[in-house]
Chains A and B, each alone.
Chain A
Amino acid sequence: MASEVPFWRAAALSLLLLAAALIAWELAVMPRAGGGAALDPEYAALLGQAAAQGGTTPMPGPAAIGARLLELLSDPFYVRGTNDQGIGVQIAYSLLRVGAGFGLAALVAIPLGFLIGMSPLLNAALNPFIQVLRPVSPLAWMPLALYTIKDSAVSSIFVIFICSVWPMLLNTAFGVASVRREWLNVARTLEAGTWKTATRVILPAAAPTILTGMRISIGIAWLVIVAAEMLVGGTGIGYWVWNQWNNLSIADIVIAILMIGVVGLALDRLLGLVAHAVAWRE
């Protein structure tokens, strides 16, 4: 157990490391004097800015990225045609898909996990299927989803569903199966019915374990949505990253990485708050 570290010391060190990293980055990408050899001005005009800078797209420095970030965040929700939408709109599309897939998965996994956790027979019968399906990369389902569903938007939701269902299913089953026998005995001696026992005893007892599964699931779902949207295209932060790669907008890609990280953190913290609310200790 690490001893308690004062908050301000950790924060100061964090800021120091960030500043050092940003300065090093800025220095590393500074244009070298005389690096751009003399280029035929007409050729440069023909090829545009990229060629004028020596034929490669320069890696943007933190300052350039910061400026671009401010620009993107100043109007995050604009929509100017299908291929030109604000970053906020793209993130909202991704969140919507994750929310739909994750929500459907919770609706299936938590009740099913309950049944599996309560019935050793069902647990033993379903375990082989779960063990085989669980390690499959969710993206491997994508072609099958596209073929059967024939709708790319629904297919990406399905992929999110399939990747978030397993951790929730296994954790719910485990949490339900390990509810203390004495609590169940209390419920039995009180003649609490099945429904009351499930909702007032088993669910609260298993809630912390279920929430752990949900946190794992939302993390995986947020990882997978970027890849799924790169494949499916159209909208979403994953598509936007790929689109900016095609545009060679390196600054936008860096910003997307940052945004994906921040949103993922927010999702985890959100479920962390719920987990804290249902946590109990003895």
Chain B
Amino acid sequence: MNATAASPPRAVDAEAQAGRPAARARHAYVSVEGIARRYGATTIFEDVWFGIERGEFVCLVGHSGCGKTTILNILAGLEGPTEGAVIVDGAEITGPSLDRAVIFQGHALMPWMTATGNVAFALSCRHRGWSRAQCEAAAREALKRVGLGHALDRRPAELSGGMKQRVGIARALALEPKMMLMDEPFSALDALTRGSLQDEVSRLVTETRQTAFMITHDVDEAILLADRILLMSNGPGARIAEVVVNTLPRPRTRANLHHMPGYHALRDHVLDFLISRSAAFDAAAPPAGWAPRAVPEVRPAIESPPPPLAAE
């Protein structure tokens, strides 16, 4: 897995830790350009613009009903937007692609296949020329990487919720996608399992610089994993109201996260948004400095934020 090999040279680590440069649509790997979803007269969300750089982990946070899952499905190519387009690597998305692996909210494993079978099925789609034995061998390797070496031949019914989601993660990682899309992947799990999987994904993200887009309700999860957190206002008519840049240094674990300077400011900022500002946001009378194509970026973890690097 080395999705970043072909990407332009990244900012040096010190700079990256101090806050990655703002993603600019024309350079980004993914560029979401003015997408909207309407059902008849009802607008779920509209005028949504954002970019995702290579190697960047972006979380989308918002209340139910603001169309988060729809945005993820549009990025996956499973649905089309009512308006606008999504450009990936210079080409508009017209359908699903193996380059964008999805980890589904429900694990979405096929119950008639073993854990190995599920991953091998994905691999057989990725590598058309591979024999069955090759796919299964690679699938076993992928499962061992997520700590499921002891459950290779079990069917999903014989796995716990956390193990099923691990298989889902292994299936996505085995594809070596250019990008991972995750739709609240841990929301159905109990707190302990969720925590250990979050740490594991945090480790994988740090190690592999996997480009990822994740939807979550969980503020701590977003702070643990994301480089940038997109905050969505409430639907209908939802917009991206704010972009929070997560300047906390990596590697992050749940154990050290809340000791990091700036963590509480960051967390309070996101929670405040969810509790009050998400409902108060009005695109017709937006706060000063807000424009749909230039959503203001904030760095709550740094007391005196540096001047914006991207002057749009």
Residues of A at the B interface (CB closer than 8 Å) are: 182-183, 185-186, 188-192, 196, 200-201, 204-205, 207, 278, 280-282
Least CB separation from B99: chain A residue: A191
- CB-contact partner of A282 in B95, B96, B101, B157, under 8 A: B157
Least CB separation from A197: chain B residue: B125
* Residues A280 and B98 in contact, CB atoms below 8 Å apart: no
* Residues B112 and A204 in contact, CB atoms below 8 Å apart: yes
**Do A280 and B155 form a contact, CB below 8 Å, given A189-B101, A190-B125, A190-B126?**
yes
Q: How far is the CA of A207 from the CA of B112 in the complex (A)?
A: 10
Chain A residues within an 8 Å CB radius of B97: 189, 191
Residues of B at the A interface (CB closer than 8 Å) are: 76-78, 95-98, 100-102, 104, 106, 108, 110-113, 121-122, 125-126, 155-157, 175
Q: How far is the CA of A182 from the CA of B102 in the complex (A)?
A: 11
**Do A189 and B96 form a contact, CB below 8 Å, given A196-B125, A282-B157?**
yes
What are 9 A-B interface contacts by the 8 Å CB criterion?
A182-B106, A186-B104, A188-B78, A189-B76, A189-B102, A190-B96, A190-B126, A191-B96, A282-B156
Which secondary structure characterizes the binding site on chain B? loop
* Residues B102 and A191 in contact, CB atoms below 8 Å apart: no
B146 to chain A minimum Cβ distance, whole angstroms, is: 18
Chain A residues within an 8 Å CB radius of B122: 190
* Residues B102 and A185 in contact, CB atoms below 8 Å apart: yes
Q: How far is the CA of A188 from the CA of B98 in the complex (A)?
A: 9
Q: How far is the CA of A207 from the CA of B102 in the complex (A)?
A: 26
Q: How far is the CA of A192 from the CA of B125 in the complex (A)?
A: 6
Given contacts A191-B125, A196-B125, A205-B110, 7 further A-B contacts (CB under 8 A): A188-B78, A188-B95, A189-B97, A190-B96, A190-B121, A190-B122, A200-B121
Chain A residues within an 8 Å CB radius of B125: 190-192, 196
* Residues A189 and B100 in contact, CB atoms below 8 Å apart: yes
Chain A residues within an 8 Å CB radius of B111: 280-282
Chain B residues within an 8 Å CB radius of A204: 110, 112-113
Least CB separation from B76: chain A residue: A189
Q: How far is the CA of A196 from the CA of B121 in the complex (A)?
A: 10
* Residues A183 and B78 in contact, CB atoms below 8 Å apart: no
B39 to chain A minimum Cβ distance, whole angstroms, is: 18
Q: How far is the CA of A118 from the CA of B246 in the complex (A)?
A: 46
Least CB separation from A183: chain B residue: B110
* Residues A201 and B96 in contact, CB atoms below 8 Å apart: no
Chain B residues within an 8 Å CB radius of A280: 111-112, 155, 157
